[in-house]
Amino acid sequence: MLEKNIYPLIAILKPSVLICLLTLPGLFFGQAPSQTSTITLEEVALQAPKLKTSRLLIPASVSSIDLIPLQGFQQQLSLQEYLRAVPGLFSLNANNYAQDLRLSIRGFGSRAAFGIRGVKIIVDGIPETTPDGQGQVDNLPLGLLSRLEVLRGPSASLYGNAAGGVLYLNTLDSLDGASTRFRSTFGSYGYQNYQLTTQLKGAKTTALFHLNRTTTDGFRAFSGLKQNVFNAKIKHSFSSRSKINFQLNYTNSPKAEDAGGLKLDETEADFRQARQRNLDYNTFEKIDQFKIGMRWEQEWGSQWSLDSYAFYSFRDFYGKLPFKNGGIIDLFRNYYGLGSRLSYEETQSKLTHRWQLGFETNGQRDQRDRFQNLQGMQGDNVFSQLERFGNVGISLLDDLQWDKLLIRTGLRLDYQTLGADTQPEIQEYTVLNPSIGMSYALSRAHRLFINFSSSFETPTLSELSANPTGGEGLNLDLDPSKAINYELGWKTQGSSGYFEATTFYIKSSNEILPYELEAFPGRSFYQNAGATRRYGLELAASYQWKQWGLQASLTQAQYQFEGQKAEDDLNGNSLPGIPNGQLFLQLQYSTNTDWKWVLSGEHVGEFYANNSNSVAVQSFQKLRFQAQKTVRVSWGEIDFLGGINNLLNTTYYDNIRLNAFGSRFYEPAPGRNFYLGFNISLN
């Protein structure tokens, strides 16, 4: 199966490059460090596991990527550009800006008809995901991203609801030597991007301000985007042991058009066309989103520390869908929360003991109105309700390290309530999630780990409000899904490289999957579809040698139904929307004349568009070439950048609408396309 899935990529990427993926561990430790090596990997304490731990020591599969060296190459149009090297993570929908990026980690999140489900998103230590488990990344300031961490497995003992995986993002605190940066990028399909970033810096305070404007006509007809983002981040140090961070984000997107899903024969007739019904009903979305947050970190002595946050956010959403009854959605969402973690650390001889007690509470209120869509014009209000979701969580983490052994345990209790003003019932969930992991040092640079963890995922308010009866109220027949995860892995790290191999097995129950009804084409409804089993192998590697850099990842897995509650027998079928095989390779070269070149290749294996597995989406391969040239002048730097996406002009699909009625599964992806730009940094 592995050979079948990755063989097409061998025709594109030379076999010698593929062999590097398997020989990297030997390269790390089989030769003496080169006297001319210019890059040494720096060990960074991971923040996503809450108790800060190095990647080598943590008894879990965690990907960590320094994004700062990559920013000079990136088009910065979608978060997908930064995620491709993470094994076990799959993303779709980077070019439908009305639906937002859809990503899954080991299958969690694959059910989302729009946005992100089942994966927790954290930005600078503050939740971006709502209490009910909905997330989006259309408001992220991509040009400010500095670091990415991904917990690749159920993590409810750390983050509670909808933590089938965790995406932890950090943004820049300062411009590191520059006072102001201006960046402008132009590309195919009318793409334009303008960014202005400036900072004010004092002895104890740094304030960073960022403006971003993006416009594009889109690859397909009726798929354009206009978006404006403002981001502010203020960091103040009271002392070396006490600091506070303020963050503010405002996103205005007055237009994000939705070209809709097509039948296969329609894509063959015209790959760039929009669905006629979407044109007739003028399907698009517009949003205004505001978020303000504060994070305070305090240390007392060498043993005690406190990490606390509070935030408030609202999202004003207006969207049109391609049907009449309830085809216009007007949603105003408020969500807010606060949390705190008290940590203690004590070291005696070879024994280090750490523990952390955490508390958080979050709330969400969605005012949801639906109107008739009269061929693009707003008609009568046919649905109106206020939906509420609340969560309180208490967690305890314990970390014990003795000589070569590290044992980490976690336990979290969550209590949740949800309801709507149109029905008297209030739904309550009380869930306890444990985790335990161990890692053992075979030598200074080699470590084995084993891990058990769990997760749960409640239906989101938007899923509950999609009532198949067509009436008001929430569909309380939907139950939360639950999963347990087992991992076994090996990690090794040297001065110039890192390698990780992980096997996993996940058993879930009450999976929530989308489907469509003929009466509401383009609208998703949801049902529990029984149990699933997921198992596989993930490899990740990076290596630096002199001026060369190599990054690679491989995923080979099975995601299958095990019995169900729906009408059809799905036992043994593959979960739709997730490929069994993925491969990513990236080769980077830097010259002594400040040129940087990057060639990256990606293989995505075959996957299915529906639960019955009657429609297969063929595997595909993509290549991307990027370059950057830095010119240093007395007043700063000028970076010239450019890239060619889909270098070989591969025909593939950017998104698949799962279980779409009428076989309208396909959203075509752009062919070969280009971008060019420059970045000016002032001292």
Q: CA 569 to CA 531: how far, in whole Å?
A: 12
Q: CA 323 to CA 13: how far, in whole Å?
A: 45
Alpha helices in 430-562 (DSSP H): 461-465
pTM: 0.92
Cα separations (Å) of 36 from 30, 147, 451, 518, 594? 17, 27, 39, 65, 17
**How do residues 638-654 score in pLDDT, each as one tens digit?**
999 999 999 999 999 99
Please tell me the least confidently modeled range out of 336-345, 404-413, 469-478, 554-563.
469-478
Cα separations (Å) of 7 from 2, 85, 607, 627, 645? 8, 19, 16, 28, 22
**How do residues 52-100 score in pLDDT, each as one tens digit?**
999 999 999 999 999 999 999 999 999 999 999 999 999 999 999 998 8
Give the CATH number of domain 2-682. 2.40.170.20
Q: CA 365 to CA 335: how far, in whole Å?
A: 6
Average pLDDT over residues 415-437: 94
User: Concatenated DSSP letters for 125-177?
Assistant: TEE-S-TTSEE--TT--GGGEEEEEEE-S--HHHH-TT-SSEEEEEE-SS-TT
**How do residues 379-394 score in pLDDT, each as one tens digit?**
999 999 999 999 999 9
Output the CA angle 445-447-452, nearest 5 degrees. 155
**How do residues 273-309 score in pLDDT, each as one tens digit?**
999 999 999 999 999 999 999 999 999 988 999 999 9
Handedness of CA 369, 375, 378, 379 (dihedral sign): negative
Q: Which residues pair with 595 in a beta bridge?
A: 629
Answer yes or no: is pLDDT of 553 > 60. yes
Spatial contact of 21 and 539, defined as CB atoms under 8 Å apart? yes
The conformation of residue 346, written as its DSSP 8-state character, comes to E
Helix (H) / strand (E) element for 340: namely: strand 328-348
What was the pLDDT predicted at 407? 98
